[in-house]
Structures are given as structure tokens and as C-alpha cells.
Chains A and B, each alone.
Chain A
């Protein structure tokens, strides 16, 4: 019951969710929603101007730790092995290994064998991404930061899926709820790698890092397509969004992500946005909306590191260094929002 009350406290209001590290962050979005906003007073940090290829890969590693924990819990009820989360041998950096706030994370109940195989696949693939990046980084790999898997509840409230008076949204409750939980991550993963790829140095390109990043981006896009197709197919089969509300939930998540994408926060599907909402095809001449891409060119989107941070911290505010899925911040040179 203690966990439940903590969740409810956390989920108490949109304000708390958006606060991330502090109330100033909440003021940012609420003012933004009102149409007029001035930058709230927060700790300001100079934008990171100098980074190495290792910094970029380590930022990606932080995201992979998060995804792997989510999918592994959904698949098996357990997270990454200790050997996959500790600082590597010879690590001389300053980041420390965090813990996972499990919340109600558990193996998703009531799965068909086909559904279990899907979750097993994605869990395996994200687990291997963690291992690949740690191997690529060697002794420079950062240990896992603290991860909060109970953040889905507050996030769902912020997205408008549920109100704070309802039981917290639980992506581990059913397969359909799991799909919505997955939806939160996958399109973001694609845009994060797409944004990171051009940052890799010429030496890094020669060393194969660009190819590796592009290949992982491809895998994230396969995952995103799975989730978007499964939700769309569910809605088509049910006949309406009323009968299958998960498509609405996913679109509420997409709208929230758009809001949090500082600098490109237009509504999904509109000019300047990096989000594409799902559609429910109504006839044989309708088009689905599985791909998240520019409506003009059908080229996929990218996000800056800063925009990704805003999403995983659940805050649109500059100067925020932790919150959301990363309650102690990322173990990365990219830990504080800069715009």
C-alpha cells in the first residue's frame, strides 16, 4: 500500500509530473499551455559544447538501460543482470550505479504465446543493445543510472489518459496496456539515434560507430512499427477507438511528447512537429499511419539530445537535471536540459 500511495502522490497532478526536478518546471508547461510564457527562473546551465563519441554512445546507453529494464520486466518480471548494469572493469568515471524503482513492474499477465514471444523478442533485443554499447565503450561505459518504472502512472495523467483520481496507469497490467507503454519509448528511440548519428566524428565514422548507430536506429524503427501496427490493427479489429481506446491513449502520448519536444513542439502531423499520430483507417481507400515521418517528404524525424532529455525527464523546462524515468538524472554529460 505504501507503493500505491507513493504513486498516487506522484500522480497527484499534472504539475507534479511536469515538475521533474522542481516546481519551476511545472510552471513552464502550464504557462506554455496558456499560450503565453516567460522562462521560469531555474538553474541555468551552459549548453554542452564539447563532447566525444563516447559521450554520444553513453547517452544512448542510458536510454537502452531504460528500455531494457522496461521490456525485461514485462517479459520475465526481472530486470537486467547485475553484470549488465555495474560500472565496467577499469571504469574511472564519476557516475555511480543507480537502482530501479520497480513500482508495479511485473511480467505482463494473461499473455498468449504469440504475445509472450513478441515481448521476449523486444526484451532480448534491448538487452543486447545494452551489452553491445557496453562492449563498444569498454571501460568508458557508464553504469546504469537510477530508473523509475513507476513513472508511467504520472506520465499517463500528464498525457490525459487518466485523471489523478483513477488508479495509476499500469503498462504491465495487460498486453494492450503494454503496447501503450512501449509506444512511449519506441518512436523516441528512432529520433534519438537519428539525431545522434550526424554528431559522430569523422574518426568515429571510420571506426564504425555511425554504421552501428544507424543500425540500432533501424532496429528501433522495427520495434516502433510493431507497436504502431499492433495498436492500429487492434483498433481496426475492434471497429472504433471507443471499442479500443489504446489508439487514443497512444495519440495522447504522441501529443505529450510533441509538447515536450522543446523547439519542435507543434502538434503531431503539423508543420514543424516530429510526431505522427496514429489513424484508424475507416475504409478500403483510407491510409494507415504506421510510419512516423514528415508528411511532406516521408523522411523520418530526428530529435536533439536536449529534446530527448525533455521527454524522458517529463519536463519542458530548461535547466532540469533529473526527473521522470531518470529520478537522479542520466549518467551522461548530457544530463541537464539546455533549451
Chain B
């Protein structure tokens, strides 16, 4: 959920290079399935990478799975297909969206309200996957 467009920003900054990512990973914080208590492995990222401002990003922009040109994906066509999952070694159901939407924002200190617009590329994945422990698991995930 971004107050400014993720896609636009990545396009503007593509070509720069540096080391990617120091974000935190908190599996199961949003909830856990029974399988999680038995799992030591973690889901692995899609091998495909899109150039990002600080290094490669393991995902495709949204668009048709046949990899054809799409206004939501400025990186062009993908003859190998445009896999919407961010997880590799995966079999299951996937949904993704590229949406723009508005609403009301509020400054919690002043109480001031103002219209605010977000852009999002959000996804779900639910099914089976081979984790880093090389074992098959069931799980559900959200790309937010």
C-alpha cells in the first residue's frame, strides 16, 4: 500500500545498483497454520528478478500470465511467462491486483483530515510449496 506509485518509483530508479534489503521477516505474525509449528524451512523467492534501485527484486510486475505487453508492467514482454507468485516451488491458487484507491487520512495529533490516494500491488498465494528445508508444506501468503 503506497501513497505513491510503487511501479512508477521503481521505473524511475531502475538502473541504480546497491545491496538489497534489510527488511524484517516475521513469519506467522499475521497468523499461523498447523503446519507452521512443524516447519523449519522458509518459502523461497521466485528466481526471476526485476531490476530495482538497490538491487534485484524477486517478482514480476502485474500483468497477463502469458507475459504479453501490459500497461502495469513497464519491463516489457516475458516469453517465459509472467508468474504472479512471489514464491517458487509452488502449486496452488494465486490472486493479484494492481489498484488505485482513495479515502480519508487523518493526522492523529492535530485531527486534520485530508483526501489521500494509494496505489497497491497486492497478492495472495495459497497451496503447497517446497521450502528451504526441501520439504513440502501447505501455507497461505500475502504480498503487500
| Genuine A/B complex | no
A-to-B contact residues, CB < 8 Å: none
B-to-A contact residues, CB < 8 Å: none
